[in-house]
Structure 1
Amino acid sequence: MKRFSFSKLMLVLGLLFIYLPMLILVIYSFNASKLVTVWGGWSVKWYVGLLDNTQLMGSVMRSLEIACYTAIAAVALGTLAAFVLTRVTRFKGRTLFGGLVTAPLVMPEVITGLSLLLLFVAMAQMIGWPQERGIVTIWIAHTTFCAAYVAVVVSARLRELDLSIEEAAMDLGARPWKVFFLITIPMIAPSLAAGGMMSFALSLDDLVLASFVSGPGSTTLPMEVFSAVRLGVKPEINAVASLILLSVSLVTFMVWYFSRQAEERRRRAIQQAIEESAADSWKQPDVRRAPTPVSA
């Protein structure tokens, strides 16, 4: 009983440690006072004032745009890398390829950002691209390390799949690309959704890489918040952070709900197929037990 109570207490403390700052952020976004640390009553004027703050809203839309592009590119590249690591078991340089895929997970962002900055500068001098750093360079930088997270998540799911399902489809005449898109992709859809949400969150939260590879007119939300915090936290930042927190929570819940529904439908379909197969086998007569005709 004591062990259960201690575990329950530690669980509550852990949840409070994680979610209490978010709750305080949401509460103070309704603070009527200009001083963030002084409570002045309830008000929604900071949410209304966001419509007039074009600089802050511009950085929000820019960050959301980059995060969406990053999630799509990271899921595509990470899935291909995971498929190579799990299904192509033997090829020259496989160990090196696996190390290069997972290297961004342990590489300090300062080193990665500086390396990408030098790369973009060298490319601009050699081939004339990129002429200026902006959304495209930030998107490339975010994709480099988000794809590694997707590769790890998807590869773990691919190793758990039953290869006999894909082999049966190919035995029935399906081509490899058709098996991949119609069988493999639906089975790893939850991991793809998890990798996409993780990439979206990492891109939306990144400050270090964006600071290195951004240029004039490409300030992201973390950069805007960081520069504003240095001069004091503004109430508008609490309001926009609360809106982003609400949006991300709703999207996460929707993805979880639809993924769960799809998984339940898949399980019901498999169970129904098993029951129908068992019923058909029960109806078929057993040839071995059939009586042999007596010859005259």
Structure 2
Amino acid sequence: MAERQVNRLSRFNVASLALGLAFLYLPIVILVIYSFNASRLVTVWAGWSLQWYGEFFHDSAMLEAASMSFRVGATSATIATLLGTLAAIALSRGERFRGRTLFSGMLYAPLVMPEVITGLSLLLLFVALNAERGFWTVTIAHTTLTMCFVAVVVQSRLGALDRSLEEAAMDLGCDPLRAFVAVTLPLIAPAIAAGWMLAFTLSLDDLVIASFTTGPGSATLPIRIYSEVRLGVKPEINAICTLIVALIAVLIVVASLVSKLSNAKAESAAPL
């Protein structure tokens, strides 16, 4: 009876997992398949073709928007990773200081604040400063949005580390900064890399905040795609989205392999 119940539960779990994966990834699979559709009508299948990928690489406006998105994403993710890591270190390893609660609340506010409010407030700030909206205003806005995500990831990793490792390094003659660089930084490097990838993905995906802070001639790829989709979905849009999905998948695989290699090196270097 118990064995039959376990089998029944396992089938239910498998069915639930299959339905969940289908709900999440079936639209993406359909999008990828129809990016190779030879027909201009996205709902009519007319055979396999790479025509729309060629159309994308000959669309100068779309390529410029893609370049803008990747430059903004890489720059904002790097700045957000640096600032978010420093903020996580201050909250995790620093002594309690006056204003710590306020600092923590302001750091994590973008996690719960609607993007419309964030974008509007940044727009008003840039207008008050008479700043020309373009690459740097979008980069600053995305850094503000993604820094809190990096801080959460790195702070959780710091909280799980054993501080006795740093103390042992300082007992052996290292100053606190050298102990952090030699011991703690390599241990939190996977979390920092994960924070960078998360920040880059969020920046690449953002539409609302970028639409408030961008200017003429500096549209990002989501803004460009949204403006095209309002007039009707073109097969070229499917090709662009497929390329982005493939790029993100490659980044995830590379990060996973790097993490596994670093863990393997750490295990091999550990004393028996």
Calculate the TM-score normalised by the size of structure 1: 0.88
Q: Which has the larger radius of gyration?
A: 1
Q: Does 1:157 align with 2:150?
A: no
Pick from 43, 50, 56: which aligns with 1:44? 50
Pick from 97, 102, 106: which aligns with 1:96? 102
CA distance in 1, matches of 2:179, 2:42: 56
Q: 1:271-290 to 2 correspondence within 5 Å? A: 273=271, 275=272
Where in structure 1 do 4 or more consecutive aligned residues deviate above 3 Å?
none
Equivalenced residues, count:
266
Q: Could you tell me which amino acid in structure 1 is paired with residue 107 of structure 2?
A: V
Partner residue of 2:121? Answer: 115
Q: CA deviation at 1:263?
A: 1.0
Calculate the TM-score normalised by the size of structure 2: 0.96
Q: Could you tell me which amino acid in structure 1 is paired with residue 97 of structure 2?
A: F
Q: Deviations over 1:138-157 (max 9, x none)?
A: 00000001000010111000
Q: Does 1:76 align with 2:89?
A: no
SS in 2 for 1:192: helix
Q: CA deviation at 1:89?
A: 3.1
Q: Could you tell me which amino acid in structure 1 is paired with residue 155 of structure 2?
A: S
CA distance in 2, matches of 1:25, 1:155: 37
Q: Does 1:11 align with 2:17?
A: yes
Q: Could you tell me which amino acid in structure 1 is paired with residue 74 of structure 2?
A: C
CA distance in 2, matches of 1:243, 1:181: 37
Partner residue of 2:4? Answer: none
Q: Could you tell me which amino acid in structure 2 is paired with residue 154 of structure 1?
A: V
SS in 2 for 1:188: helix
Q: Gaps (5+ residues) in structure 1?
A: 125-129, 276-296
Partner residue of 1:85? Answer: 91
Q: Does 1:63 align with 2:69?
A: yes
CA distance in 1, matches of 2:49, 2:198: 33
Q: CA deviation at 1:176?
A: 2.0
Q: Gaps (5+ residues) in structure 2?
A: 1-6
CA distance in 2, matches of 1:259, 1:182: 18
Q: Does 1:28 align with 2:25?
A: no
CA distance in 2, matches of 1:244, 1:179: 40
Q: CA deviation at 1:261?
A: 0.9
Q: 1:118-267 to 2 correspondence within 5 Å? A: 118-124=124-130, 130=131, 132-267=132-267
SS in 1 for 2:217: coil
Q: Kindly, what percent of the aligned residue pairs are identical?
A: 53
CA distance in 1, matches of 2:81, 2:185: 12
Q: Deviations over 1:226-284 (max 9, x none)?
A: 111110011111111111111110111011111111012112211xx2x3xxxxxxxxx
Q: CA deviation at 1:51?
A: 2.0
